[in-house]
């Protein structure tokens, strides 16, 4: 059987390569790092998590939780690795990032059917090729795709949050608690009184920004930098990432706002400032974030960063099976296809590979069930607005037949439908 090219060894790329190899198909996986860097990846490992170590909620009544369960049913390598590298984080699924990527890296590189080529991929030929080069696709490849599709590529901006060393935190001030006590106390909380909050907001709004100009900036709403949220209203943070409800130390001790820090690794050496994606200069991050009670002497091991995220206008350029209308041996996967988020990108890697598999078998493509979260995302790529297309996260509003007051039933139906889809793929 033909060899398939997969471009990009990120979350979508490893899912695609692993799926095809399981089907006995040879894969050449192109990953440009470390020769060419993206500006956000830090390691040489495949399947690197570029920012948070959280894969979001693990609860089935959460849209991303449901999507994860669907991926488990379909044999996702990322879900397999996540279950082996979990760190406690309440109802969320968070992982020790190096362990997560190392497991996948080793499994992919050891697979006799997968050859990893550390080169930047630029030129397409007639091979079936899955492009999973992500939101930070190299400019040369992006240009090539724009030439082929004849449609200008789109982008939005998002940002990553800083990491601090636990040993530098003041644990007399920070306290352990999960929201509404749902979880095992794996979050640290920094309580703010009104005066501290007021001063913090003022300094945050006035702090010096790095990179891009306002007029050139369109944010993905869910990844808005914290300083932009603060700018939208003095109380915006208190009702957003610094929401204290469910985190108060006691009934009597009700702080005005609370910053949460999430454990990054099982050794508990590093903590992530939850919701603190930012575009401030490094110096300003140190100055302003050190105003948070308990973080006065915080040692920042990584600062937040802002990035331009590329994606294709899926409804304009993609066929039903995720191949390009103008060159149908090229399939688009991952975030580049028009979804947003780690788990969504994994899902679109697996799905693109399933479609390639059908093509290789000369079989009619089997659509993912419309009432599953996988199918909902897939449909959105085809049914979204061509004029105003924006990347999509998993959410129940796009699920076919969703009824809010029958959520449990919808979830069960989604899982049953995915089991049947998986059986048809013979997984
Ligand atoms: C800075 C930043 C922070 C983010 N934070 C989060 C977060 O906290 N939570 C969340 O859910 N989502 C986050 N995202 C969004 C998204 O979920 C991730 O980017 C996710 O990794 C996308 O998966 P992917 O497989 O599509 O791309 P990636 O995981 O980025 O993988 C693409 C791979 O392709 C390689 N590549 C690029 N061009 C070429 C080429 N020409 N030839 C060969 N290889 C190439 C890259 O080196 C990379 O390894 C973030 C995105 C960015 C940019």
Q: Give the confidence band of 319 by pLDDT, cuts at 50, 70, 90.
A: very high
Q: Pick from 308, 333, 348: which residue ends a domain? A: 308
Residue 408 exposed, middle or buried by CB count within 10 Å (0-12, 13-18, 19+): exposed
pLDDT in tens, 256-300: 999 999 987 666 778 999 999 999 998 999 999 999 999 999 999
Give residue for tokens 């994860």: 68
pLDDT of residue 266: 65
What separation in Å is there between the alpha carbon of 9 and the centre of ligand 1?
9
Q: Give the confidence band of 304 by pLDDT, cuts at 50, 70, 90.
A: confident
Q: Same structural domain for residues 270 and 142?
A: no
HEC readout, 344-403: HHHHHHHHHHHHHHHHHCCCCCCCCCCCCHHHHHHHHHHHCCCCCCCCECCCHHHCCCCC
**Structure pTM?**
0.80
Q: Which helix (H) or strand (E) holds 143?
A: helix 139-149
Residues 6+ apart with CB under 8 A from 59: 65, 91
Q: Same structural domain for residues 356 and 384?
A: yes
Task: Specify the ligand 1 atom closest to the Cα of 120.
Answer: 42
Per-residue pLDDT at 15 exceeds 90: yes
Per-residue pLDDT at 427 exceeds 80: no
Phi, psi of 4 (to 5 degrees): -105, 140
Residues 6+ apart with CB under 8 A from 380: 338, 339, 392, 398
Task: Specify the ligand 1 atom closest to the Cα of 121.
Answer: 42
Answer yes or no: are the C-beta atoms of 187 and 262 closer than 8 Å.
Answer: yes
pLDDT of residue 387: 75
Q: Same structural domain for residues 122 and 215?
A: no
Q: Same structural domain for residues 301 and 359?
A: no
- In this structure, the dihedral spanned by the alpha carbons of residues 406, 409, 410 and 412, taken in order and rounded to 10 degrees, is 160
- How many CB atoms are closer than 10 A to CB 61? 12
Q: Same structural domain for residues 287 and 192?
A: yes
Both tokens assigned to 165: 């060393």
Number of domains in the chain: 2
> How far is 155 from 14, CA to CA, in rounded Å?
23
Which residues form ligand 1's pocket by a CB distance below 6 Å?
A: 7-13, 30-33, 38, 40-41, 50-52, 120-121, 132-138, 141, 158, 160, 307, 309, 334-336, 341-342, 345
Sheet of 327-332: strand order equals 114-117, 27-30, 4-7, 129-131, 327-332, 323-324
Helix boundaries (H) for 173-261: 194-206, 226-231
Q: Which of 345, 348, 351, 381 to mutate to test the pocket of ligand 1 (most atoms within 8 A of CB)?
A: 345
Using only C-alpha atoms, the chain has a radius of gyration, in whole angstroms, of 22
Q: Same structural domain for residues 38 and 128?
A: yes
pLDDT of residue 65: 98
Q: How many residues does the chain have?
A: 427
Q: Same structural domain for residues 381 and 268?
A: no
Task: Specify the ligand 1 atom closest to the Cα of 159.
Answer: 1
Q: Which of 47, 135, 141, 144 to mutate to test the pocket of ligand 1 (most atoms within 8 A of CB)?
A: 135
pLDDT of residue 215: 40
pLDDT of residue 286: 96
Q: Same structural domain for residues 133 and 200?
A: no
What separation in Å is there between the alpha carbon of 297 and the centre of ligand 1?
32
Q: Same structural domain for residues 164 and 299?
A: yes
- For 400, the domain range is 4-153+312-424
What separation in Å is there between the alpha carbon of 212 and the centre of ligand 1?
20
Q: Pick from 260, 286, 308: which residue ends a domain? A: 308
Both tokens assigned to 218: 């369109």
What separation in Å is there between the alpha carbon of 220 and the centre of ligand 1?
15
Residue nearest to atom 49 of ligand 1 (CA): 10
pLDDT in tens, 124-177: 999 999 999 999 999 999 999 999 999 887 887 777 789 899 999 999 999 999
pLDDT of residue 267: 66
Answer yes or no: are the C-beta atoms of 103 and 81 closer than 8 Å.
Answer: yes
Distances 166 to 160, 276, 284, 299 between C-alpha atoms, Å: 19, 17, 20, 8
What separation in Å is there between the alpha carbon of 51 and the centre of ligand 1?
10
Both tokens assigned to 113: 């059917």
Q: Same structural domain for residues 76 and 195?
A: no
pLDDT of residue 218: 63
Residue 261 exposed, middle or buried by CB count within 10 Å (0-12, 13-18, 19+): buried
Per-residue pLDDT at 85 exceeds 60: yes
pLDDT in tens, 196-220: 999 999 999 999 988 654 444 566 6
What separation in Å is there between the alpha carbon of 372 and the centre of ligand 1?
24
pLDDT in tens, 354-412: 999 999 999 888 999 999 999 999 999 988 778 778 788 898 988 999 998 999 999 99
What separation in Å is there between the alpha carbon of 54 and the centre of ligand 1?
15
What separation in Å is there between the alpha carbon of 343 and the centre of ligand 1?
11
Residues 6+ apart with CB under 8 A from 196: 256, 291, 293
Q: Same structural domain for residues 33 and 145?
A: yes
pLDDT in tens, 19-74: 999 999 999 999 999 999 998 898 999 999 988 899 999 999 999 999 999 999 99
Residue nearest to atom 24 of ligand 1 (CA): 134
CATH of the domain at 174: 2.40.30.260
Answer yes or no: are the C-beta atoms of 56 and 343 closer than 8 Å.
Answer: yes
| Closest residue by Cα to residue 258 from 249, 270, 267 | 249
pLDDT of residue 328: 97
CATH of the domain at 148: 3.50.50.60
Residue nearest to atom 12 of ligand 1 (CA): 341
Residue nearest to atom 18 of ligand 1 (CA): 342
Q: Pick from 289, 308, 327: which residue ends a domain? A: 308
What separation in Å is there between the alpha carbon of 184 and the centre of ligand 1?
30
Q: Same structural domain for residues 415 and 323?
A: yes
């Amino acid at each position: 059987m033909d060899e398939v090219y997969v471009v990009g060894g990120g979350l979508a790329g490893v899912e695609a390569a692993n799926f095809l190899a399981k089907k006995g198909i040879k894969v050449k996986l192109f990953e440009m790092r470390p020769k060419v860097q993206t500006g956000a990846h830090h390691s040489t490992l495949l399947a690197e998590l570029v920012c948070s170590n959280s894969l979001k909620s693990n609860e089935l009544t959460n849209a991303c939780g449901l999507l994860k369960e669907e991926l488990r049913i379909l044999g996702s390598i990322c879900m397999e690795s996540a279950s082996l590298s979990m760190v406690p984080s309440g109802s969320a699924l968070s992982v020790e990032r190096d362990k997560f990527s190392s497991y996948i890296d080793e499994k992919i590189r050891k697979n006799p059917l997968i050859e990893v080529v550390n080169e930047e991929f630029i030129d397409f030929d007639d091979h079936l090729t899955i492009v999973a080069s992500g939101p930070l696709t190299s400019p040369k490849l992006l240009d090539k795709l724009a030439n082929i599709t004849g449609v200008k590529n789109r982008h939005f901006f998002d940002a990553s949050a800083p990491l601090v060393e636990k040993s530098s935190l003041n644990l007399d001030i920070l306290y352990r608690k999960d929201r509404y006590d749902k979880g095992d106390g794996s979050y640290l909380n920094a309580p703010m009184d009104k005066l501290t909050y007021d001063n913090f907001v003022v300094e945050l709004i006035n702090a010096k920004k790095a990179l891009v100009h306002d007029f050139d900036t369109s944010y993905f709403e869910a990844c808005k930098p914290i300083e932009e949220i603060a700018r939208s209203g003095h109380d915006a943070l208190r009702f957003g990432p610094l929401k204290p409800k469910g985190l108060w130390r006691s009934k009597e001790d009700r702080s005005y706002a609370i910053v949460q820090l999430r454990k990054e690794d099982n050794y508990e050496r590093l903590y992530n400032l939850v919701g603190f994606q930012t575009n401030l200069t490094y110096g300003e991050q140190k100055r302003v974030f050190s105003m948070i009670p308990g973080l006065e002497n915080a040692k920042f091991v990584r600062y937040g960063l802002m990035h331009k995220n590329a994606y294709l206008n899926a409804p304009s350029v993609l066929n039903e099976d995720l191949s390009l209308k103008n060159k149908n041996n090229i399939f688009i996967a991952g975030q580049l296809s028009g979804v947003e988020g780690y788990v969504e990108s994994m899902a679109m890697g697996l799905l693109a590979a399933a479609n390639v598999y059908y093509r290789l078998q000369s079989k009619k493509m089997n659509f993912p069930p419309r009432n599953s979260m996988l199918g909902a995302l897939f449909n959105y790529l085809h049914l979204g607005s061509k004029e105003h297309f924006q990347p999509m996260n998993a959410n129940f509003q796009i699920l076919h037949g969703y009824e809010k007051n029958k959520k449990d039933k919808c979830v069960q139906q989604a899982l049953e439908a995915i089991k049947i889809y998986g059986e048809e793929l013979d997984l």
